[in-house]
Amino acid sequence: MQTAYTKEELRAILAPRRGRRIVLVPTMGALHEGHASLLRQARLLAGDDGCVVASVFLNPVQFDNAGDLATYPKTPKQDLETCDKCGVDVVFMPSPDTMYCADRSITLEETHLSTVLCGASRPGHFAGVCLVVNKLFNLVQPTDAIFGKKDYQQLAILRRLVRDLDIPVTIHGAEIVRGEDGLALSSRNVRLTPEHRAAAPGIRRSLLAAKEAYAAGDETSAICERVRQTLEAIPGVRCDYVELVDAVTLHEVTDPHRLALLAVAAWFGDVRLIDNIELSRS
């Protein structure tokens, strides 16, 4: 495994690998089993002759809350060990100064999918995501890239980015990796209090109950309200949103036969957790 810290080092390492399948897994570090699953899937996708590139970069441009950025866990040594164990060929670990010019003045903004769900309460977040991922695509020039479905809105927006800008990258969505108790794995989970960590699997239980209710034909508004009430009954928890939307457009469900998505964001104290579940009535 090789590690690049600058753009020049990355280009030099990748130069002899051009022409092969190159699979990119962008991360912000503090890697856990969810990330490891993405890396292992990338290794399988790349095959023996392909190349797996993992980026480990805590992107400041996508944080709308300076406190969240400051408290985001950082484990670079362990991250490199995880990448090595999962068969990564190249790790790109740039600094913010390496990734961004001090006087940068170009932005990328998606104007439809990003107006709802997390985008409604995190202004500028997805513009930052689009910018850094586009830069990574330009630097790595991958044939494929893998993103987890836990950030379902992000995945949808990046599919739109590739489509609208004609970027020659195939986007793959990977299923959510969960703990034995059902909680979606997240780098933020380590910041939960013991009480909130014990209560957080309630998100998954409420989503599974909602899936059954949706399949049975219950009203969308009633389903969302039950999930909200269930979560906000937990001491110290408040919902950012509970929304049932079309899984592709992320807006109102207009065709009950299309795949739908129930997405949740909730604050457990000062830790914001997200989760989702795909729903179907067919």
Question: Considering 32, 35, 125, 196, which one is annotated as catalytic?
Answer: 35
Given 174, 202, 223, which residue is the final one in a domain?
Answer: 174
User: In terms of residue numbers, what domain contains 257?
Assistant: 192-275
- Dihedral Cα 248, 253, 254, 258, nearest 10 deg: 50
- Specify whether 110 is located in the same domain as 205: no
Look over the chain and give the mean of its residue pLDDT values, rounded to a whole number.
96
Give the model confidence (pLDDT) of 91-134 as tens digits: 999 999 999 999 999 999 999 999 999 999 899 999 999 999 99
Q: Is 112 a catalytic residue?
A: no
Residues counted in the chain: 282
Contact residues for 95 (Cβ-Cβ < 8 A; gap 6+): 5
Give the model confidence (pLDDT) of 173-217 as tens digits: 999 999 999 999 999 999 999 999 999 999 999 999 999 999 999
pLDDT band (50, 70, 90) for residue 64 = confident
- Specify whether 123 is located in the same domain as 244: no
pLDDT band (50, 70, 90) for residue 28 = very high
- Specify whether 127 is located in the same domain as 259: no
Domain count, the chain: 2
